Amino acid sequence: MARIVPFKAIRPTRDKAYLVSSMPAYIYPKHLLEAKLESNPYTFLHVINPEFRQDNKTQPNTVERFEHVREKFDEFCDRGIFIQDQEDRYYIYRQITPTNTYTGLISGIAVDDYLNGTIKIHEHTLTQREQTFKMYLDVCKFNAEPVLLTYPDHPVVDRIIDKYLNTRSEYEFCTTHHIKQDLWPVHDPKDIAELTEAFKSIERIYIADGHHRSSSSVLYAQSVREQNPNYDPESKFNYFLSYLIAESKLNIIEYNRTVSSLNDHSPESFLDAIKTVFEVEEKNEAYTPVQKHNFSMYLTGKWYSLTAKKGTYDENDLVGNLDARILTLNVLKPILGIKDVKTDNRLEFMEGTRGANGLQEKVDNEEAVVAFGLYPVSIEQLKAVADANDIMPPKSTWIEPKMRSGLTIYSLED
């Protein structure tokens, strides 16, 4: 049983929403981040980068830096850039991209759902990052970017969402990435009650993106509980900000790989080694994998289709059957000598949204010598791994929608 709750979002006024919302700060190259900070006094990036243009800066990821983040956030509230809703609400959020439409529900979701296994994970988290994010919550006491969660399609949820889509949205704007954004506060108490009840019938919810933010919210809640054993279970810290999207509306895209050396192989000997584990077919044009266990490869100006041979993977092994693992165990480790895909700097990952052209450009520009395209993981594969309490290989999926920061802020303070 999933437990979601409405909340009083702290959010930008309607006229400033398009100026405030931003992608996470780490997404922007340094020059672009500085340009946005310089040109837009309302962007949420100023909250995350509160010392812009200051000479005496604190160290990143420290209590002192996070204190300045909180001060800048309070300044945005004092200036009226942010306001807070007076009633608890859910929020319907939609992104329309050139290729897809994503619609889901922004809510608080229970930390206990993570602890009791209702919320399923498919990635390992790094302790250091967890502790950094927890420190951020200790000091700042708000969530600004929702964790992306997915759930089995539910007719009641669909019906209520569709009802609001036929009305004027509170926010409506388009970003420079050609993505239209809409947000509707769910204000009808009957709708709020029905949504809350509908999710109680959902047994499992899956993290699509945001494992570290989820786990750090859990650590934060546990620390508050330890300090106050008689805590109120309805206090805000027992929940974290989430964006819930139905499985049918989620888009799982492949995460491709490029490698900067052939590990002392010549292109010819490397191709010979590849042929021992794959059926290889040269292609006359850019190639994209067409099914599971089929890969693309770009080497010395040529495209190839690679199909994994029987015996190179175990169909009964949920993780071993994933294409990212097949490539690692049959090519990256034994042929290219990449022992740790997390740390070897010869290996880079490329989101599938850049397609075959992105892979070819990387090699043609001599930033890599070989590129591999993978077939996307299915939602069924992701769920099967999570249900088995197993972990997917690093960078197995690129999942959309990608959430923006600063549109609906969840306060951890009552």
pLDDT under 70 in the chain at which residues? none
Are 208 and 176 members of one domain? yes
Residue 126 pLDDT? 85
Are 335 and 231 members of one domain? no
pTM: 0.94
Write out the H or E segment, with its range, that includes residue 272: helix 267-275
**Are 85 and 9 a contacting pair, CB within 8 Å?**
yes
CA–centroid distance for 126 within its chain: 15
Residue 137 backbone zone (phi > 0: left; psi -120 to 50: alpha; other: beta): alpha
Give the whole-angstrom CA distance, residue 390 versus residue 201.
Answer: 24
Give the whole-angstrom CA distance, residue 385 versus residue 256.
Answer: 20
Are 243 and 256 members of one domain? no
Residue 244's Cβ-side half-sphere holds a number of Cα atoms within 13 Å equal to 30
Q: State the total domains in the chain.
A: 2
Residues of the chain with pLDDT > 70, as a percent, come to 100
Are 208 and 294 members of one domain? no
Residues 289-344 have pLDDT tens digits of 999 999 999 999 999 999 999 999 998 999 999 999 999 999 999 999 999 998 99
Q: Which domain holds residue 140?
A: 4-247+403-411
Are 150 and 295 members of one domain? no
Are 199 and 318 members of one domain? no
Residue 25 pLDDT? 87
Are 346 and 389 members of one domain? yes
Residue 26 pLDDT? 86
Residue 251 pLDDT? 97
Are 260 and 314 members of one domain? yes
Are 28 and 47 members of one domain? yes
The residues pairing with 258 across neighbouring beta strands, listed in sequence order, are: 348, 371
Residue 89 pLDDT? 98
- Give me the phi and psi of 92, to 5 degrees please: -90, 125
Are 223 and 371 members of one domain? no
Residue with tokens 């010819």: 268
Q: CA angle, corner 222, sides to 220 and 226, nearest 5? A: 120
Are 94 and 228 members of one domain? yes
For residue 263, the SS3 value is: coil
Are 79 and 206 members of one domain? yes
Residue in 295, 302, 361 with CA at minimum distance from that of residue 332:
295
Residue 338, both tokens? 């990449």
Residue 116, both tokens? 């009791």
Residues 347-395 have pLDDT tens digits of 999 999 999 999 999 999 999 999 999 999 999 999 999 999 999 999 9
Give the domain CATH number at 346: 3.30.1760.10
Q: Which residues contact 284 (CB under 8 A, 6 or more apart)?
A: 303
**Are 238 and 113 a contacting pair, CB within 8 Å?**
no
Write out the H or E segment, with its range, that includes residue 142: strand 142-143
